Structure 1
Amino acid sequence: MKKAGMTLFAAGLAMLPAMAMANNDFSTVTRVHYVMDCMAANPDMNVYEGTHKCSCVIDQIAEVFTEKEFEDISVGYMYKNLPADRGATFRDDKSIKSGLDLFEETNAKAYEECRIR
């Protein structure tokens, strides 16, 4: 009985990294790109502070969006400010707009919680 219990315990420990990845499925490249962009947009922070705070933000975004959703919304967020008809698709489409609104809300909340000014 004791050996079976230890085997189950070891199997449970082996599953922990997989369970953590299920909730946090952004690739390393996506995270690094976001952190680099965040640090460039917030040049007042030193490298150490920027790395930690911007990593905090992308971790919170990853809790709300999948990587695919994040990539799609990032493109919409970037292109919504294009002038005239080129940006109209991203500004006027209700499904895109609702995703952008959620992204902006999530991003603002993450910036506040991660203490980025």
Structure 2
Amino acid sequence: MKKILRMLCLLGLPMAVHGAPQHANDFPTIDRVLYVQECIGAHPDAGKFEMTSKCSCAVDAMAREVRYSEYVDLSTAAKATTIGGERGGYIRDSEKLQADIKRYKALQAKVNKGCFIGPPTAR
């Protein structure tokens, strides 16, 4: 009986030390692919294989930093800054959206730095 109890304690020890297993992040594959494609497109002078690896690293790092629903909100706000006219004015005038845009850009800079991605190449 003592042997069984000792075995159960040993088996439970890694869970106690490391906590419960982490759930896989929730970024859908299609959004990962789109992120990598956009990232590669922003660096046309770099090699595609190199950028595929670096951009994959970046989206994985992004997924570790924020939940998918938060990523959607932040990236949508950042992409919407290109909307012109009255519709774009709402985005430019919204303090919350401006804060989201700033946070997204900071997060993107962090993951790019960690994955050795330089600034986008001008076209």
TM-score, structure 2 normalization: 0.74
Measure how far apart 1:4 and its partner are. 3.0
Could you tell me how far apart the structure 2 residues matched to 1:101 and 1:46 are? 29
1:4 corresponding residue in structure 2:
8
Structure with higher Rg: it is 2
Residue identity matched to 1:48 = F
Q: Deviations over 1:26-61 (max 9, x none)?
A: 222221111111111212222321111101211222
Q: Name stretches of at least 5 consecutive residues in structure 1 with no aligned partner.
A: none
Q: Deviations over 1:45-81 (max 9, x none)?
A: 2232111110121122223321112112222211212
Q: Name stretches of at least 5 consecutive residues in structure 2 with no aligned partner.
A: 119-123
Structure with higher helix content: 1
Residue identity matched to 1:35 = V
Find out whether 1:88 has 2:92 as its counterpart.
no
Aligned length: 111
Is the CA contact 2:54–2:115 (under 8 Å) kept in the aligned structure 1? yes
Cα 1:108/1:7, change in 2 over 3 Å? closer
Cα 1:84/1:106, change in 2 over 3 Å? same
Could you tell me how far apart the structure 2 residues matched to 1:50 and 1:81 are? 25
Residue identity matched to 1:102 = R
Find out whether 1:72 has 2:85 as its counterpart.
no
Could you tell me how far apart the structure 2 residues matched to 1:98 and 1:85 are? 20
Measure how far apart 1:97 and its partner are. 0.9
Find out whether 1:49 has 2:53 as its counterpart.
no
% identical equivalent positions: 28
Residue identity matched to 1:52 = S
TM-score, structure 1 normalization: 0.77
Could you tell me how far apart the structure 2 residues matched to 1:114 and 1:3 are? 42
Measure how far apart 1:82 and its partner are. 1.5
